[in-house]
Amino acid sequence: MIRASIAGASGYAGGELLRLLLGHPEVDVAEITSERLAGKFAHGVHPNLRGATRLRFRQMDELSGVDVLFVCLPHGESSRRIDDFRRIAGRIVDLGADFRLRDPAAYERWYGGAHPRPELLDQFVYGIPELNREALRDADSVACAGCNATAAILALTPLAAAGIVKSAVIEVLVGSSEAGSQATAASHHPERSGAARAFKPTGHRHQGEIAEALGVENLHFSATSIEMVRGVLATCHVFADRVLEDRELWRIYRDAYAAEPYVRIVKGQSGIHRYPEPGILAGTNYCDVGFERDSDTKRVVAMSALDNLMKGAAGQAVHAFNLMFGFPETAGLEFTGLHPL
C-alpha cells in the first residue's frame, strides 16, 4: 500500500481528493491537514465522508513521512514550503497553481510578480495525463492543471496538434465551487443565486497555461460565472487555416482520444445531450469533448465539459498518481456519474 497524506484537505478539492483516496485500492491515507480545523474530524466539513473515515485534521508542521504528498493549498503556499514537502515525501502532486508554468517570464506575466523558486519550474510535470502520460510515469513532482485550462486544452489539443489553429476565442462557463469553500461577497447566496456574471473577460491566469500547453499564442480567454455548483463548459471558437469537413474533424478527434479512458467524444445528431454538458459529469473524472463546424466559414466550435473538482482537480491528481506508481489508470476513478441529478 502507498502511504499518502493531503496538505490542505478541508477545501472542496481536498475533500474530493480524500474521498477518492479512501476508495483507492492501493492507498492508505495517513494524515490530512487544515490549520484552521486542526483537531476536528474530516466528516465535520465533508459530511459525505461520515462513516468512511475517522481521520482528524492536523497542522502542517505535524506531518510525518509518506510515499506521496498531495498539496491542495492556496496560491503561493507550495512554492514557500516546497523544501518542507520534499522532506516529507519522495513524490509530490500539487493541485495548486505555483508550478504549472515552465517559463518564469510567463509566470511573471500572468501572476504579476517573479516566481519565488524559478529554478524548480522545469522539475514539475504538467499533470494532464492525455498530454504528458509518459513523463508522468517517471515524475516525482507533478503540477496539476487549472480546471478551466484543462477543459480548454482537451477541447483544442487535437486541432492544435494538427496545426490548423490560427487563433481561438475561448469562453468558459463555471460553477461556484471553482471559487473555493471560503465565502466571499461574490459567492454570498443573494449575490450568486441566478447569476450569469462575467468575472474575468480578459487576463485570466489559465490563459497562460493553455497557450503553453498548446503552443498557440493567438488565444483569447474569458470566464463567466453561472448558477451551477460543479462544472466547466468551455466553448472554443477556432479560426482554422482552411475549411474543414466533418469527416476530417472526426478523424482528428478520434485519432487523439480513441484510447483515452477519460475523454469521450460527444457529438450527436439529435437529442438534448448531443453536445458536452457538465451536469452529467458531476463526481466523475470524464471530460466530454465535441465539435461543430461553421459550414460558411473556417470557424470550428470545439466544446468540452468536466467537473472542475474532479477532472479539473482531484480526479486529475489521482489519474497522475496512478501513472506515477504504475497502477491501472482507472484505479479509484471508476464512478460513471448519475442521471438525472
By annotation, the residues acting in catalysis are 147
Task: Give the containing element (helix H, strand E) for 81.
Answer: helix 77-88
Q: Which residues contact 12 (CB under 8 A, 6 or more apart)?
A: 177, 180, 181, 309
Q: What is the grid cell recorded at 152?
A: 480548454
Strand order of the β-sheet with 141-143 is 57-58, 27-33, 2-7, 66-71, 89-94, 141-143, 125-126
How far the first Cα of the chain sits from its last, in Å, is 35
Per DSSP, the three-state class of 307 is coil
Q: Which of 292, 298, 169 is nearest to 240 (CA)?
A: 298
Q: Which of 226, 167, 170 is nearest to 196 (CA)?
A: 226
DSSP character for 239?
Answer: E
Q: What is the grid cell recorded at 183?
A: 465565502
Q: Is the dihedral of CA 203, 208, 210, 214 positive or negative?
A: positive
Contact 142, 92 (CB under 8 A): yes
- Report the greatest alpha carbon distance in the chain: 62
What percent of the chain is helix, strand and coil (3-state, nearest 5)? Answer: 35, 25, 40
Q: Which of 134, 162, 182, 146 is nearest to 251 (CA)?
A: 162
Per DSSP, the three-state class of 10 is coil
Cis before 129 (ω within 30): no
Q: What is the grid cell recorded at 328?
A: 491501472
